[in-house]
Amino acid sequence: MNASQRKLAEGVLYTDMYELTMAQLYFRMGMHEMNAHFEHFFRNYPDYGSHQAGYCINAGLEWFADWVEEACFGDAEIECLRNQKQRSGKPMFDDDFLGWLRQQCLRDHFTIQAVPEGRVVHPNVPLTVVQGPLALAQIMESSLLNRINFQTLIATKAARVREAGCRRMMIEFGLRRAQDRGGNAGTRAAMIGGADFSSNTGISYALGYPAKGTHAHSMVQAFMALGEGELAAFRAYSEVFPDDCLLLVDTINTLESGVPNAIKVFEELKKKGHKPLGIRLDSGDLAHLSIQAARMLNAAGFEDTVILLSNQLDEMVVWQIVSQIRDEARKYGLDPDHLINRLAYGVGTRLVTSRGQGALDGVYKLTALEKNQEWIPAIKVSETPEKIINPGFKNVWRIYNGLNHATADLMGMQDEDPDQMDPLELRHPSDREIRRTISRKDIDHIEPLLTDIIKDGRMVYEHPGIDEMRQVRDQDLDRLDSGVKRLVNPHIYHVSLTPRLWQLKRELVEKRGQIR
């Protein structure tokens, strides 16, 4: 694929064919420029099989907004569509429709609101709200879902690993196991969700961070093949990188060769005025080896060197390592908290592929259509009540209780103001029997979640840097009930509707013969 082909493949035609065929249908019916309101949300938290998420971390918005800014139909795009054929051999797209498309750049037509990146988010709550011409809004769907669903999935996994590891240093190592150039998106999402750094050099630099890494077993093997051995390899590495010397110690035997040789090199570095960085463990019982390696390093006077763990880590493995250290470290004369605090984690395959849950079930649904300057709510009904969408043009708020903990996300009509409601009634989105009432005296504050990104075709939002997203992430996580953050069987966070929105939903369902 050459540069022009890649530009075509990743531009406005980075969308599914059915978005374009629907756009032509709207054009034929004279509906293509009707003002439409779409919402992007996910239906379920990631379920990894043996463990489940109780929250997600929103990510991917900036890359989607960048795509919108550049997505235009030019000569190459129109030529591509002109060459699409129906089964009969006739052109898939009419010249009139292609002529209309030829004038379109997506950025000129939309108002987009979204939940900022780094925020904790929950099922059924709109993450991205798109308002603009029906045909173009339809074309936007695939690219939006592709960018935000994946990055939210990976950011969530990263946050869970970080929480399991007591928020210690975490480096994303996933590039070699990622899905082609999706590795860059995975790295960015991981750094929003929980990773401090990445081994992925180019994207790290683009995001404003130094790339981090150690060395591979092959370096030690190369010296061994030449008859020089592990110690010679370590010495060579320390000579080239005396202030960044972190040695992989499990090529031969971790405790009998790797750690002793690392200590010899660390002592040599110390005499030269350099501070050794640490060791890396990449195989075996990582909790046990961490304890034994820490004993050896402490005895040699290197109590503060890092012990970096890698090898198929995820949140459950990290949690098990931390738990085992808490149980066993004192038996060997070690302070478990000190050891846990010196650990770092290199997390790769299971993070960047979201092992156990390979996709987030984010969807993009029409919720309202404007006709004669009036918004008409739209609804999708289903035999499964949980899949009936919440209709209309609405707002979203987060309710904080008296402890300043997030207690519910509330969706309501656009003209509603929950600050004026006392008590605040919360209705379950699909079960008419479940409701909750909160008195104003039990509420610390109510926060709107959506912010303007593009307003009437103009970018009005300044995307935050990764550091700012991380601060928001930590603030949101600190305000979550601990039960919601459990790695296994988390408490279910409340996502609710105002009575007015609940009533509108019920009326629309009944109107369509789907009484619930």
Band (513; pLDDT cuts 50, 70, 90): low
- What average pLDDT does the segment 81-94 reach? 97
109: buried, middle or exposed (CB in 10 Å: 19+, 13-18, 0-12)?
buried
pLDDT attached to residue 516: 43
- pLDDT above 70 covers a percentage of the chain that reads 99
Radius of gyration of the chain from Cα atoms?
A: 27
pLDDT digits (tens, 9 = 90+) for 106-133: 999 999 999 999 999 999 999 999 999 9
- Report if residue 331 sits inside a domain: no
**Domain coverage including residue 365:** 3-156+357-511
Q: Give yes or no for a cis peptide into 429 (omega within 30° of 0).
A: no
Q: In this predicted model, what pLDDT tens digit does every residue of 388-440 receive, in sequence order?
A: 999 999 999 999 999 999 999 999 999 999 999 999 999 999 888 999 999 99
The reply to whether 297 falls in a domain is no
Specify the pLDDT at position 465: 98
pLDDT band at 385 (very low <50, low <70, confident <90, very high): confident
Please give the residue that has the higher pLDDT: either 63 or 181: 63
How does DSSP assign 305-359, residue by residue?
-EEEE-SS--HHHHHHHHHHHHHHGGGGT--HHHHHHHEEEEE-HHHHTTTT---
Structure confidence at residue 384 (pLDDT): 79
Distance CA 14, CA 140 (A): 9
Nearest to 361 by CA among 186, 123, 190, 138: 123
For the segment 484-498, what is each residue's pLDDT rounded down to a tens digit? 999 999 999 999 999
Residue 78 domain-assigned?
A: yes
Residue 436: what pLDDT?
Answer: 96
pLDDT digits (tens, 9 = 90+) for 299-357: 999 999 999 999 999 999 999 999 999 999 999 999 999 999 999 999 999 999 999 99
Residues 53-73: tens digit of each pLDDT: 999 999 999 999 999 999 999
Q: The CATH number of the domain where 119 resides is what? A: 3.20.140.10
Total domains in the fold of the chain: 1
Phi, psi of 244 (to 5 degrees): -135, 40
Q: Tokens 């996933």: give the residue.
A: 174
Instruction: Identify any residues that bridge with 307 across adjacent strands, giving them in sequence order.
Output: 279, 343
Name the strand (E) or helix (H) holding 397: strand 394-401
Instruction: Give the residue carrying structure tokens 């990894």.
Output: 48
What is the rounded average pLDDT for all residues in the chain? 96
Q: 452 pLDDT band (50/70/90 cuts)?
A: very high
Q: How far apart are CA 181 and CA 10, in angstroms?
A: 12
Q: Count Cβ neighbours within 10 Å for each residue of 483-503 and write b for 16 or more, e otherwise.
A: ebbebeebeebbbbbbebbbe
Q: Which residues, at least 6 apart from 348, have a Cβ–Cβ distance to it below 8 Å?
A: 172, 173, 174, 176, 177, 310, 313
- Residue 16 within any structural domain of the chain: yes
Q: What letter represents residue 487's amino acid? A: L
**Which pLDDT belongs to residue 512?**
74
pLDDT per position as a tens digit, 16-53: 999 999 999 999 999 999 999 999 999 999 999 999 99
> Quick count: other Cβ atoms within 10 Å of Cβ 177?
15
Q: Indicate if the pLDDT at residue 515 is higher than 50.
A: no
510 — pLDDT class (breaks 50, 70, 90): confident
76 part of a folded domain? yes
Residue 340 lies in a domain: no
DSSP state of 128: E
Please indicate, yes or no, if residue 341 is contained in any of the structural domains.
no
Any domain includes 126: yes
